[in-house]
Amino acid sequence: MQAKNLFPNTHLIVGVCSDELTHQFKGYTVMTEDERYDALTHCRYIDEVVRDAPWTLTTEFLKKHKIDFVAHDDIPYTSAGSDDVYKHIKEAGMFVATQRTEGISTSDLITRIVRDYDIYVRRNLQRGYTAQELNVGFIKEKKYRLQNQVDKMKETVRTVEEKSKHFVYRMEEKSQDLITKWEEKSREFIGNFLELFGPDGAWHAIQERSGRMLQALSPYSSPRGSPSSSPTRHPHSPDLSPTPASPSNASLSPPTPPRARKKGKRKSTSTYSRHGQ
């Protein structure tokens, strides 16, 4: 972007070195040269991509591609036995300095990957890559897989703890609501009870009214000693009603004759007469 905006109507050409030159002078690349070519063609600031560019720019290369200026950061680039591969470009007045963007250089990206190497290896093992594809030994593979299992257990425990906390929190809220409602209902019940059965309650008023109504409707009671309207039987008066004779009594008991009393001191003798004599 900086190189594109240096001059008006700039035609920006980007040279890309091959994998062979890059491996020789800089190091192993993550992306192949074809992948790097294709990535640059999708950058909106680039007008043209030159494949297999030389590591050190020559005069012939500059004339061939009609290059007027070379853009790069101003830090001396030590490589291929030279203190600065852009020294002759700077001396010719064809060099334009740009500012480096921190954190996006190749070295920075590789440092971030190497720093979290174990995390990336474990992630790829989980995603189905083999230890051979990741260039990981047998012991390290088992170690990483064990760490993955431990992390899964930790995550499960953490999830259960969060759910338990949420459940306990909800139960506390519901319990508090139930207690509040119970207190409200209790106060309401006590108030209604006192209103109904208290000293000045409706129940006592109803009882008083009922007593007055019963007193008004019931007759006065008879005074003591007054003759009753119905005849009463004296407990000691003999029962004058005739008692029917039992047939068994009539046949077994003989009639009792009248007793004769004689004058004198002699005892009276009762004479029984039998039937027919």
Lowest mean pLDDT among 35-39, 102-106, 223-227: 223-227
pLDDT in tens, 65-95: 999 999 998 888 888 778 888 999 999 999 9
DSSP string, 41-78: HT-TT-SEEESS--SS--HHHHHHTT---EEEESS---
Residue recorded with tokens 């260039």 = 135
Residue recorded with tokens 């953490």 = 158
Residue-level pLDDT at 220: 54
Instruction: State both tokens at 260.
Output: 């004769």
Residue-level pLDDT at 128: 87
What's the distance, CA 130 to chain centroid?
39
Per-residue confidence band for 276, with pLDDT thresholds at 50, 70 and 90 = very low
Residue-level pLDDT at 221: 53
CB 89 within 8 A of CB 116: no
Q: From residue 170, give the alpha-carbon distance in Å to each of 60, 159, 166, 183, 246.
A: 78, 16, 6, 20, 94
Residue type, position 125, single letter: L
pLDDT in tens, 142-179: 887 888 788 888 888 888 888 888 778 777 777 878 88
SS3 82: strand
pLDDT in tens, 190-246: 777 767 666 666 666 776 777 767 777 765 555 554 444 444 444 444 444 444 444
CB 201 within 8 A of CB 195: yes
Whole-angstrom Cα distance, residue 269 to residue 259?
8
pLDDT in tens, 109-154: 888 888 888 888 888 888 888 888 888 888 888 887 888 788 888 8
The pTM assigned to this predicted structure is 0.47
Residue-level pLDDT at 176: 79
Residue-level pLDDT at 203: 64
Report the sign of the C-alpha dihedral through residues 36, 117, 132, 27, in that order.
Answer: positive
Residue-level pLDDT at 142: 83
- Residue 36: how many CA atoms within 13 Å on its side-chain side? 17
CB 201 within 8 A of CB 194: yes
The DSSP code for 10 is: -
Whole-angstrom Cα distance, residue 10 to residue 96?
13
Residue-level pLDDT at 269: 42
CB 13 within 8 A of CB 48: yes
